[in-house]
């Protein structure tokens, strides 16, 4: 592991050495490689040297692009596999939007909380099995609260099961050209078999925002009102960064703090994907800095997210568990945790609470639309959420009598500190 880490450091240093830019009178001049050998090595590695924006280089995967045309302003380690955590919920939303467009379900269709979804660890809404909500309310709770139980309920109701919904997620990923992604669940709880890349997430964001602009406002909700409870958005750019209008946060210990941030100014929308930051504050600050540099650059490069050639290590998945969780106290292992530091130092603008956030009311009930087609049998009747039978405890179970558990191969990997699941 240490040898591989050293190789990665060398590779990052080499990639940085190959990307130079000098900004003169708002014009970007790309410096030539220092020697022919380095240029040939770069080509053999399949990397693409794009002008880096002014500012400090980043070690973690990033990509910044113009939403309208997909043209890239900056990228680094864009094809490195990474655990998406709750960024997964963007794919869940996309599959749901596609299901609505196909007539499988409607915004007011009932999403029933199953026994499986109710048992998912936090972050969660905590609704009891059998509770029913509208699909549009479920999607808002999933995107703002990052509720794992609601995300699983959406997946089970639209797909018929977690496994079937994951198949749909992967089918959409293949169709979009997300060549470095694989999904096994709809909420992003850790599994070694669930991974993505910064570039792939860029493709997903473009699909969501261009194909389904009618749902764009859902990604910029400042907070939710559930009865008397107020739930702020984990995306600290919303309401704080000028023009911020999306999109999603993600965190589990192995992934670190992920964030996809978007903002629109003067009719121009930029998107920044940052993976593996060290805290909720630093990921917001990093994305804000990247967006600032992007808006200060009048034109993007010629290469698009879809056309970016693959480069770097595309098979190994980074695991930040030791760095993010084992070396930090439990209170820091959460998206909601306040950063530890000098109490006398000025607060980050992304650490301050919003004075009067605009809240969207959500909750249970009101689901008067048709039942999702995946929840109906051949005769049009709704499937019951019936627990699997178990063998009599006073007798030894015969071979094969134990109830099967979907995803049992990765179930042990899903056990994380509850507070870390956002």
Q: Does residue 116 share a domain with residue 239?
A: yes
Q: Does residue 130 share a domain with residue 25?
A: no
- Among all chains, which residue has been given the structure tokens 């941030």? 261
In a domain? residue 387: no
In a domain? residue 135: yes
Strand partners, 75: 63
Q: Does residue 218 share a domain with residue 128?
A: yes
In a domain? residue 197: yes
Angstrom distance (rounded) from CA 418 to CA 19? 41
Q: Does residue 159 share a domain with residue 36?
A: no
If one counts the domains in the chain, the total is 2
Ramachandran angles phi, psi of 313, nearest 5°: -80, 110
Query: Distance between alpha carbon 345 and the CA centroid of its chain, in Å?
Result: 31
- Among all chains, which residue has been given the structure tokens 């992007």? 294
Q: Of 336, 337, 333, which Cα lies nearest the Cα of 417?
A: 333
**Angle, alpha carbons 303-308-314 (nearest 5°):** 160
In a domain? residue 234: yes
Q: Does residue 190 share a domain with residue 69?
A: yes
Q: Does residue 167 share a domain with residue 40?
A: no
Q: Does residue 142 share a domain with residue 278?
A: yes
Token pair of 233 as six digits? 């958005």
In a domain? residue 396: no
Going by C-beta distance under 8 Å and a sequence separation of 6 or more, which residues neighbour residue 329?
340
In a domain? residue 321: yes
Q: Does residue 147 share a domain with residue 41?
A: no
- What pLDDT sits at residue 291? 98
Angstrom distance (rounded) from CA 281 to CA 144? 17
Q: What is the pLDDT along the chain (422 residues), one digit of tens a residue?
A: 444 444 444 444 434 433 333 232 233 333 333 333 333 333 333 333 344 444 444 579 999 999 999 999 999 999 999 999 999 999 999 999 999 999 999 999 999 999 999 999 999 999 999 999 999 999 999 999 999 999 999 999 999 999 999 999 999 999 999 999 999 999 999 999 999 999 999 999 999 999 999 999 999 999 999 999 999 999 999 999 999 999 999 999 999 999 999 999 999 999 999 999 999 999 999 999 999 999 999 887 889 999 999 999 999 998 999 989 987 776 666 666 555 455 566 778 898 889 899 999 999 999 999 999 999 876 667 765 544 444 444 445 444 433 333 332 333 333 333 344 45
Q: Does residue 23 share a domain with residue 93?
A: no
Q: How many CB atoms lie within 10 A of CB 95?
A: 23
Q: Does residue 356 share a domain with residue 235?
A: yes
Angstrom distance (rounded) from CA 250 to CA 422? 6
Q: Which of 49, 70, 93 is the last residue of a domain?
A: 49
Parent domain of 230 = 62-339+350-374+407-420
In a domain? residue 56: no
Q: Of 167, 168, 105, which Cα lies nearest the Cα of 135?
A: 105
Q: Does residue 24 share a domain with residue 146?
A: no
Distances (CA, A) of 229 to 14, 143, 224, 226, 390: 50, 17, 8, 5, 39
Q: What is the CATH number of the domain that holds 310?
A: 3.40.710.10
Is the peptide bond preceding residue 79 cis, with omega within 30 degrees of 0?
A: no
- What pLDDT sits at residue 332? 66
Chain segment 206-259, per-residue pLDDT in tens: 999 999 999 999 999 999 999 999 999 999 999 999 999 999 999 999 999 999
In a domain? residue 188: yes
Distances (CA, A) of 398 to 388, 391, 402: 16, 8, 8
Q: Does residue 268 share a domain with residue 191?
A: yes
């Amino acid at each position: 592991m240490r040898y591989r880490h050293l190789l990665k450091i060398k590779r990052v240093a080499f990639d940085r050495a190959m990307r130079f830019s000098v900004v003169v009178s708002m014009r970007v001049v790309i410096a030539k490689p220092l020697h022919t050998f380095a240029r040939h090595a770069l080509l053999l590695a399949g990397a693409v040297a794009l002008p880096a924006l002014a500012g400090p280089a980043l070690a973690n995967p990033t990509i910044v692009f113009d939403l309208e045309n997909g043209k890239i302003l900056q990228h680094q380690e864009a094809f490195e596999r990474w655990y998406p955590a709750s960024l997964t919920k963007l794919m869940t939303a996309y599959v749901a939007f596609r299901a609505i467009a196909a007539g499988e379900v409607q915004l007011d269709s009932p999403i029933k909380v199953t026994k499986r979804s109710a048992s998912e660890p936090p972050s969660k809404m905590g609704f009891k099995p059998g509770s029913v909500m509208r699909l549009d309310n479920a999607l808002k709770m999933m995107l703002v609260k990052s509720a794992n139980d609601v995300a699983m309920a959406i997946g089970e109701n639209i797909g018929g099961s977690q496994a079937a919904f994951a198949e749909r997620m992967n089918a959409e990923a293949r169709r979009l050209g997300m060549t470095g992604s694989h999904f096994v669940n709809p909420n992003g709880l850790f599994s070694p078999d669930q991974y993505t890349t910064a570039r792939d997430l860029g493709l997903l964001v473009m699909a969501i925002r261009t194909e389904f602009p009618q749902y764009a406002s859902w990604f910029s909700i400042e907070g939710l009102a559930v009865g008397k409870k107020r739930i702020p958005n984990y995306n600290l750019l919303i309401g704080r960064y000028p023009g911020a209008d999306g999109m999603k946060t993600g965190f589990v210990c192995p992934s670190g703090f992920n964030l996809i941030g978007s903002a629109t100014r003067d009719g121009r929308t930029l998107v920044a994907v940052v993976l593996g930051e060290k805290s909720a504050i630093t990921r917001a600050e990093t994305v804000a800095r990247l967006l600032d540099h992007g808006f200060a650059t009048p034109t993007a490069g010629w290469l698009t997210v879809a056309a970016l050639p693959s480069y770097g290590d595309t098979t190994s998945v980074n695991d930040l568990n030791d760095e993010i969780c084992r070396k930090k106290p439990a209170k820091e292992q959460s998206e909601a945790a306040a950063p530890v530091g000098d109490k006398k130092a000025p607060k980050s603008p992304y650490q301050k609470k919003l004075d009067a956030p605009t809240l969207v009311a959500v909750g249970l009930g009101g689901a008067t639309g048709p039942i999702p087609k995946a929840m109906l049998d051949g005769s049009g009747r709704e499937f019951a959420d019936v627990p699997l039978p178990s063998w009599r405890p006073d007798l030894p179970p015969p071979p094969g009598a134990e109830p099967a558990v979907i995803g049992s191969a990765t179930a042990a990997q899903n056990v994380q500190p509850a507070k870390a699941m956002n």
